[in-house]
């Protein structure tokens, strides 16, 4: 078989291969867990969302939030290890040359415990993103960013603080939309139907009644005439 025939025979296979999705979409589909059906239907524009869809939006994070957590959790673990190793390499002595205690001294055991805290927060980010828990993911990212920021690694801590604040704001907005849809302005527990104005509870303190005024006895009619 000549080279031209081989090329012609391979054309249908090339055409079938062009139907595949791009590599980025396939990776996204492999990483992102499909949302619940009600959450997916809530993304349709120009349609008010039902209470069930709003409840799902409160409980579960969307694809963008979940993918952000899945990508940043390993980055957070790597940053935590690098920060602790940098602090260990720049470890200050316990005492100064004049014999006084060094205020910048930090115990190595404390640094290693801090590394475990960073890894634990990164694990919480990963688990929260996998199970679509937006609130826990935002809290974990904000705490991680504050911890890194307090160690004066501002370039590493600021992005996690901003992303954590973004997630917390989205969680608050989802809760607000649910309260507005159900009419529960107080937001106590599960939303219920709106109630009318409540009556003032009666005062349980006992107040004795005032005694009626005493009347003077009436005189008999014969005495009135005699008088």
Q: What is the pLDDT of residues 166-208, one digit of tens each?
A: 999 999 999 998 888 887 655 444 444 445 455 555 555 556 6
Residue 144 lies in a domain: yes
180's tokens? 């507005």
pLDDT of residue 102 exceeding 50, the answer is yes
Residue 46 lies in a domain: no
Residue 213 lies in a domain: no
Residue 172 lies in a domain: yes
Model confidence at 88, pLDDT cuts 50, 70, 90, reads confident
pLDDT of residue 39 exceeding 70, the answer is no
State the chain's mean pLDDT as an integer: 75
pLDDT digits (tens, 9 = 90+) for 132-168: 999 999 999 999 999 999 888 999 999 999 999 999 9
Residue span of the structural domain in which 70 resides: 56-181
Phi, psi of 81 (to 5 degrees): -65, -40
Helix axes 134-150, 63-89, angle to 10 degrees: 20
Into how many domains does the chain fold? 1
Length of the chain equals: 227
Residue 198 lies in a domain: no
State the Cα–Cα distance between residues 127 and 134, nearest whole angstrom: 11
Residue 90 lies in a domain: yes
State the Cα–Cα distance between residues 36 and 30, nearest whole angstrom: 16
Residue 199 lies in a domain: no
Residue 27 lies in a domain: no
């Amino acid at each position: 078989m000549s080279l031209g025939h081989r090329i012609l025979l391979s054309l249908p296979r090339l055409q079938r291969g062009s139907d595949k999705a791009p590599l980025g979409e396939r990776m996204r589909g492999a990483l992102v867990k499909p949302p619940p059906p009600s959450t997916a239907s809530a993304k349709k524009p120009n349609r008010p969302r039902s209470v069930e869809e709003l409840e799902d939006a409160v409980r579960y994070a969307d694809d963008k939030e979940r993918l952000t957590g899945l990508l940043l959790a390993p980055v957070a673990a790597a940053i935590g290890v690098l920060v602790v190793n940098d602090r260990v390499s720049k470890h200050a002595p316990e005492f100064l040359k004049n014999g006084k205690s060094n205020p910048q001294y930090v115990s190595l055991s404390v640094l290693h415990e801090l590394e475990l805290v960073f890894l634990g927060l990164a694990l919480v980010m990963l688990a929260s993103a996998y199970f679509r828990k937006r609130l826990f993911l935002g809290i974990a990212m904000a705490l991680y960013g504050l911890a890194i920021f307090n160690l004066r690694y501002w370039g590493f801590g600021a992005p996690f603080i901003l992303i954590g604040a973004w997630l917390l704001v989205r969680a608050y907005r989802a809760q607000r939309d649910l309260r507005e849809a159900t009419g529960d302005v107080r937001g106590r527990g599960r939303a219920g139907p709106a109630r009318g104005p409540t009556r003032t509870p009666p005062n349980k303190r006992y107040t004795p009644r005032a005694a009626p005024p005493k009347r003077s006895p009436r005189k008999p009619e014969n005495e009135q005439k005699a008088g």
